Amino acid sequence: MSSKPSPTLLRRQLGAELRRLREAARKTAAEVATALNWSESKVSRIETANSSVRNPDLTKLFDLYKVSEVERNRLTALAAQSRQRAWWEAYGEALLGAYETYIGFESEASDIFIYDAVILNGLLQTVEYAGAIINSVSAGERPDVVNQRVSVRMARQAVLTRDPPPKIWAILDEAVLKRPVGGASVMKRQLMRLLEIADRSTVTLQMMPFDRGAHRGIDGAFSILEFTGETEQPLVYCDGMTGGVFRTRPEEVRRYLMAFESLRTAALSHAATLDYIQRAIREYE
């Protein structure tokens, strides 16, 4: 893992601590919202790391939960660290809120499980493929914003060479490998890039053939992130046209983990998948 945790991960740690304090004080999120004249969603966003917390609000929570001075100082320092800028924050309006949060989690994950139903996950894309995808879904956006989104997607891939790198297990629907995004030449280079990535000992690729019919991932793509820290629970991210959604409740995460295990059993092996990709490359020659 990196020596300096991302602000997103620190924000998640702070949120978990604040939830622990709330539960220790025997208060529900609704009761806290009423006591502080907040919305219940504000309490939830703070506890799930979807928004940072300002010091005045932090003090209100401390007072409500009757937090000790030592604990206040520790969590105030953690909050300050969590508000530091990460590299992706420089891209501002180019990033939707949930996606920006996801990048922070992804940069710290020890294991990344991916199911792609239509297009490749950003960690696996070439710049040409990414440009074709982002341009197709960003109609009406300023060219500089589109270019920034491509740049962010490429910068995310630094996680592949992090020390130590995360373990990545990606299951790709056959449609992902069949769809010639950007045209034949772009897709050929994308498939070649997949072979390069799959050559890493920390990466496993599997393809879900069309002939498997309906399966546990039929209703959409998702990513599962796991972390090495004992207090860091796994989470699920489902991307969408207007932003992504996080699933963090244990029962939700468990359902996605079971779905991924089912997909892993039904898909082609890593070796058979690489053979398939090599044949697909030859079709473009």
**Per-residue pLDDT tens digits of the chain, which is 285 residues long:** 344 566 777 787 788 889 889 999 999 999 999 999 999 999 998 888 877 788 899 999 999 999 988 888 888 888 887 777 666 565 666 666 678 788 888 988 999 999 999 999 999 999 999 999 998 888 777 888 888 888 888 888 988 888 889 999 999 999 999 999 999 999 999 999 999 999 999 999 999 999 999 998 888 899 999 998 766 789 999 987 667 888 888 999 999 999 999 999 999 999 999 999 999 999 987
Q: What are phi and psi of 171, to 5 degrees?
A: -110, 120
Structural contact between residues 152 and 248, judged by C-beta atoms closer than 8 angstroms: no
The residues, ordered by sequence, that sit 6+ positions from 130 with a Cβ below 8 Å of its Cβ are 122, 150, 153, 154
Q: What are phi and psi of 208, to 5 degrees?
A: -95, 105
H or E segment at 278?
helix 270-283
Q: What are phi and psi of 200, to 5 degrees?
A: -75, 140
User: For residues 197 and 195, what is the distance between their CA atoms, to the nearest angstrom?
Assistant: 5
